[in-house]
Chain A
Amino acid sequence: KAGVTQTPRYLIKTRGQQVTLSCSPISGHRSVSWYQQTPGQGLQFLFEYFSETQRNKGNFPGRFSGRQFSNSRSEMNVSTLELGDSALYLCASSLGSGLEKTLQYFGAGTRLSVL
């Protein structure tokens, strides 16, 4: 069974631009969560999607948004990029319900650099 796939692996953008990251979950997984990882703040939860609906949201500004498609694939968008958005963005998938929701499997991440 294929793991969680994130594309692209690396991105370089300039301030003010926008970016879209993609995540394909493990087959059969309906929940996709997004995290931002930086040396200073560690792993911070962005949001979680389940069955095309945002189910949970972390404490990030509205510039960060996401969506989930009917095949459970998810995209995350960041608009008006700031230097502080430079980070490793991790996607995690899970079955999405009950106890299994806590069992998350992570992708390799997308490294975003904002210049």
Chain B
Amino acid sequence: AQSVTQPDIHITVSEGASLELRCNYSYGATPYLFWYVQSPGQGLQLLLKYFSGDTLVQGIKGFEAEFKRSQSSFNLRKPSVHWSDAAEYFCAVGDPNDMRFGAGTRLTVKP
């Protein structure tokens, strides 16, 4: 069965510092991969997706993610974090019949 693991429950970074959120997946074939962001009390907003092709994917708000098949990973990165990036981030893996979400990583941004 497919699954998603986000090893870090909570990460704190300083404003302006770089960010990397980890995501590992287990899937039998090439998965469709997603990163979502959720602000408190809100729904999930899609940051970026990977279906196929270039393994470095650009998303909204300056985020990017890299698909590494050999490591079964799809880590999210941002070169310089802004205070407004504080939120919870979810990695998801799926196919048209089954979507699985990770447990989420809560990001705190220090001034």
Contact = CB atoms under 8 A, between A and B. Distances in A.
- Answer whether A and B are interacting partners: yes
Interface of A: 4, 6, 33, 42-43, 45, 56, 90, 92, 97-99, 101-109, 111
A108 B97 CA distance: 23
A107 B46 CA distance: 11
Given A42-B103, A42-B104, A104-B99, A99 B42 contact: no
Given A98-B96, A102-B32, A111 B103 contact: no
Given A105-B46, A108-B43, 17 more contacts: A6-B43, A33-B99, A43-B104, A45-B99, A56-B98, A99-B32, A101-B96, A102-B34, A102-B94, A102-B96, A102-B99, A103-B46, A104-B99, A108-B42, A109-B42, A109-B43, A111-B41
Interface string B69-111: 0000000000000000000001000111111011110000000
Contact of A4 (B36, B41, B43, B104): B43
Interface of B: 32, 34, 36, 41-46, 49, 51, 90, 94-99, 101-104
A97 B36 CA distance: 21
A106 B49 contact: no
B71 to A, nearest CB: 22
A43 B90 contact: yes
Main secondary structure, interface of B, reads strand
A92 B42 CA distance: 13
Contacts of A105: 46
Nearest to B95: A102
A104 B100 CA distance: 12
B42 A103 contact: no
A56 to B, nearest CB: 6
Contacts of B96: 97-99, 101-102
Contacts of A98: 96
B12 to A, nearest CB: 19
A72 B77 CA distance: 36
